Amino acid sequence: QDPAKLTDWDDDYPDEEIIREDLNTKKARLLLIDGVLAGYVAMSDTDEYLSRIFPHLSKAAFLSRLVIKKAYRKQGTAYRFLSEIEKEAVQLGYQYFGIIITPGNIPSIALAEKLGFRFYREEEFEWGKALAYYKSLEMYYRFVSWNVNGLRSIMTKGFPDFLKLVNADIVALQEIKMFSSQADFSFPGYHAYWHSAAKPGYSGTLVLTKTEPLSVSFDFPFGEHPKEGRIITLEYPDFYFVCVYVPNAQRDLARLGYRMQFEDDFRKFLTELDQRKPVIACGDFNVAHQPIDLKNAKANEGNAGYTIEERTKMTELLNSGFIDSFRELYPEKVEYTWWSYLLKARERNIGWRIDYFLLSERLRQKLVDSFILNDVLGSDHCPVGVILKR
């Protein structure tokens, strides 16, 4: 966008120089309605007002320079725009919002209160008085899942920084490919629950949680399955959290038979949990459910991960009382979570969406957002996540 076009509806506020600076530092958030630029806001965690007025707020972001084009005002546009910005802030791991408003700006004060901001104090600046408001974002759960394709490798590729940045309540990892006894690292602020495969360097899952669960269990409580470290279940007062790494049917479909057994037992397991309390199940499900979930659907028919058998099992699971959180919110959005290492597939975005967050149907009203962090590198998969109301 040409920054000059951003100022044509509101004189020179914010002026072009400020907007260019915000765009260059990635602070700007633009609102498009039917392709028309309708609004602008800046979000920063280094703003001078943030450190001056809210020094006690950690992991906080400051909102400033909100402008809505006149044609879109008084229609709830600002409320919806800032609600979307709030989702992004939660996704990025911020715990608080801070804003300042001039005392005479009655519409902005009303908007802040409608969005749940609380008055903090009045502050005197060189340009006059302002009212400071803040809002806690801790009314949400943030859950993230990632097939890391080797935990030791990902630890050297920025995973500790990612863990701090995403600031999730629970992080579920698949294909860790190591034993806990081999770890010469830790995860500060998290309880870690490992479930490694018996075979060294293969499969395995790990769940990191800020809150200690009521109980932790591994694998299915029934049936015979190889010790491949594929399921961890954490029980909390209000829900079950299940991390799963579903077996790959393999290129020649050599494990398709076992895959079908695993799918049936997994569906039985989740439905039994769901009878007690809501379930959040996430991980690498190793299946692209619908044609929209992979780049070349026609060419991959019958291949592992896109056989009619695997897709039917996913349909049966969803029909057993669960929703695909991403498709629930974005039925036509094309995004992928896995790319082959061959032929620059990720660079060309030739991928598959095989990593999911499935939710019990009765959690539908608590679903705020479901996201795919496809710009996070380090594995052939990327992280996925959900935001739920507490």
Cα–Cα dist 82/117, whole Å: 12
Active site (annotated) includes residue 10 = no
Cα–Cα dist 244/217, whole Å: 12
Q: Are residues 65 and 42 in contact, defined by beta-carbon separation less than 8 angstroms?
A: yes
Residue 19 in 3-state DSSP?
A: helix
**From the candidates 245, 306, 336, 356, which is the catalytic residue?**
245
Burial 36-69 (b: 16+ CB within 10 A, else e): ebbbbbbbbeebebbeebbeebebbbbbbbbbbb
Kindly report whether the peptide bond that precedes residue 14 is cis, defined as omega within 30 degrees of 0.
Answer: yes
**From the candidates 47, 284, 293, 369, which is the catalytic residue?**
284
- Long-range interactions of 162-165: CB distance < 8 A, separation 24+: 162/376, 162/378, 162/383, 163/187, 163/190, 163/208, 164/93, 165/92, 165/93
Q: Specify the residue for token string 């795919």.
A: 372
Active site (annotated) includes residue 284 = yes
Cα–Cα dist 390/388, whole Å: 6
Residues serving a catalytic function are: 245, 284
